[in-house]
Structure 1
Amino acid sequence: MLRSLTRTKSISHSSLYSCYLPLIPRQYKSTTTNTVPFDNEPFPFSRFEPCCPEGEASENGFIPCSEHPIPKVIGKKIEMHEELKKTRTGRHLVACVGPEAPDWSRSKVETVKGGMILGINSAQNTWMRSQKERRPPPEGELLTTVIGRPSPNTEWPNSDILLFPEFRRYPGVHPDKLLDSKITPLLDALWKDPMCSKLPHIENEEILNDIDTVVLVCTHTMRDKRCGVLGPLLVDEFRKVLSEQGLLKGQEKGRVEVWGVSHFGGHKFAGNMIIHQKGLGGHMYGNVRQCHVTSIVDRHIINKKVIKELWRGAVTPPSIEK
């Protein structure tokens, strides 16, 4: 079933699709566990394990770290024993609203009046009601979030849209004009099938040739304090480690960006993050703390290996278009 995911259940499409004729489903083309290049070497840390343990473990297993302190009240609320909830989506649509946008002031970005996610959801509902052709629900899901990346040369509510795994940028999109704009053919294709193998060319689209990795860490404080506290700590640590290795965008050879992202599910598994990398696709991790960042940079970003111990699933495959 298609869901334009903000990891909410505000849109139920089952009723809209209930009259469609069943067809033989085609093979889902997303990344499977059989094709993920997991690291053969064990990760040096277990889930949410500190590098410099200090003090006794809390009832949930949380142990403070002398090198990377975390408020105990937050650490005690982290789930680190249940199986990490796995996710599988097809493409990831990201609105670059900047760090001060009104989207961050609400627990659900899809309820922000004038916001991009509300605009996308509303436009999709209108689009679905207008479809006369009877077709089965498309396979795969379209994950939609906002991130703290600014959109140059425009102001909120306009924002740039990024699409993964293609690493494409669509500048200056207005949330109230999604069904009558340059980006309309793209949305039409994604709503019909998030895994479509041939996307339409959009007049002003750009390929992000100057970056090859985007790290997105959930920092959505208004949705959940666990990610709201841990997320910014992880963003700072990733930027610090990447900068020390000359990998951060803005440095001479830097091709990695790090941004805060809105809720995408599983706050109890904080810290939560997604890494999009050209040739590797998008992968979601949970139970990450600052102690793990250096190893994640080395194993995932530099050596392109997925860390199974922290893996929450594939967000996008390495490529879709043919």
Structure 2
Amino acid sequence: MEWLSKCVNSLYPSTCPDDCAASCLPPLQTTSLPTIRPTNSDDCPGCVKPCALHPIVPSQELRIDQSRPLYNTVPGYAIHFIILTGKTDWPAHLEDDNGGLAQALIEAIQRDKKKQRWIRDEPNRFLPLRLTTGTSATSTQLLEQKPSHRIMVTNASLPTRYSNQRNAHDVILMPDNVIIANVTPRRAMALLDFAYGCPSGFVTYPSPYADLLLVCGHRKKDKRCGTIGPMLLKALEDALRMCQVEAQVALVSHLGGHAFAGNLVIYTHQGQRAIWYGRVTPCHCLDIIQQSVVEDRIIQELLRAVFQAGCAKAQQEQQQQHCSSSASLDW
């Protein structure tokens, strides 16, 4: 994966010392939601009551959990495969998608668990960021724990653009943020090998999505996300147009935490940082675009977790060498 790292690193001018191999993204700042605006206001970023501009989320009818804390409700994960299916009518359980790529990839991951190939220091993976409540958090504030080996597999509504073989799909690999073309169910294990840095013969393309917003809209899995997901998709697209921001929004399959719907994952910095939000409503979407996409802030009240690309060894070196938070990521 070294060549992929070099491609991504070339997008960011480095100010890190030569011997600093840590992820040095701009620091995240926390922000609170604005106070509730009157319902006849021209805009309502962050409002938590029904307004005239957005559809009402029937939170009581859908039994959205409004009581449990959101923070730290996302299990750690190392990498994320996003399969571009061009549709949203996925089966309730992706592992039951007979002959589908998601099913084949999940089965390959299960077979591969015995190899324990993630138990090493150097692979690209996501690590959780620890955020101090009410204060800023830099990329050095990482949880001091063993990185997760979990691999996520998610179907997305984005269409395949490069694959031209039968039963083949494009797959986005995070945190590398590259598109792997012509992935078929028969090549699921080869895709997994590719993620570990093994030669595979796949053709790859740089992802055009510097900022990618994934909204859980898996209606066959859970009514809550199936109802709220399309609402958020439209509200986020409207907010992007209002702010004149170029980012991509897509509906995706099960992300976990349906009780906290709407669920949203925001990949920024070419996929190197992942912000997970819960209990999102259409009235939050303008604020989310302005704060989390444009200004690189997290909204504390919605936050489930933040993950950042890197490796455990690199993060330890960063802490020891006090690498500048404005420097580029060096995997």
TM-score (norm 2): 0.67
1:94, 1:257 → 2: CA distance? 14
| 1:282-319 Cα deviation digits (max 9, x unpaired) | 111000000011111011000011222111113x4144
Q: Are the equivalent residues in 1 in contact too, given 2:57–2:281 (CA < 8 A)?
A: no
Q: Are the equivalent residues in 2 in contact too, given 1:217–1:261 (CA < 8 A)?
A: yes
Unmatched tracts of structure 1, length 5 or more: 1-28, 54-61, 190-197, 248-253
1:40, 1:276 → 2: CA distance? 17
- 1:262 paired to 2:253: yes
The AA in structure 1 aligned to 2:269 is K
Q: 1:242 to 1:287 in 2, by over 3 A?
A: same
Q: Are the equivalent residues in 2 in contact too, given 1:37–1:306 (CA < 8 A)?
A: no
2:175, 2:235 → 1: CA distance? 25
1:231, 1:50 → 2: CA distance? 24
| 1:25-54 Cα deviation digits (max 9, x unpaired) | xxxx999xxx99443432226xxx88739x
The AA in structure 2 aligned to 1:177 is R
Q: Corresponding residue for 2:238?
A: 240
Q: Corresponding residue for 1:297?
A: 289
Superposed displacement of residue 70, structure 1: 2.4
Tell me the SS of whatever aligns to 2:179.
Answer: strand
Superposed displacement of residue 155, structure 1: 6.9
2:151, 2:216 → 1: CA distance? 18
Percent identity for Structure 1 against Structure 2? 23
1:287, 1:138 → 2: CA distance? 27
- 1:119 paired to 2:110: no
Higher relative contact order (CA closer than 8 Å, sequence separation 6+):
2
Q: 1:73 to 1:295 in 2, by over 3 A?
A: closer
Superposed displacement of residue 138, structure 1: 7.6
Q: Corresponding residue for 1:172?
A: 182
Q: 1:173 to 1:268 in 2, by over 3 A?
A: same
1:42-191 counterparts in 2 under 5 A?
Answer: 42-44=32-34, 52=39, 64-70=50-56, 72=58, 75-84=61-70, 86-87=73-74, 88-99=76-87, 104-128=89-113, 131=115, 139-152=148-161, 153-154=163-164, 157-179=167-189, 181=190, 183=191, 185-187=193-195, 189=196
Superposed displacement of residue 246, structure 1: 2.3
Q: 1:71 to 1:289 in 2, by over 3 A?
A: closer
| 1:163-193 Cα deviation digits (max 9, x unpaired) | 11221110110012223x5x35314x2xxxx
The alignment covers a number of residue pairs equal to 256
Q: Corresponding residue for 1:9?
A: none
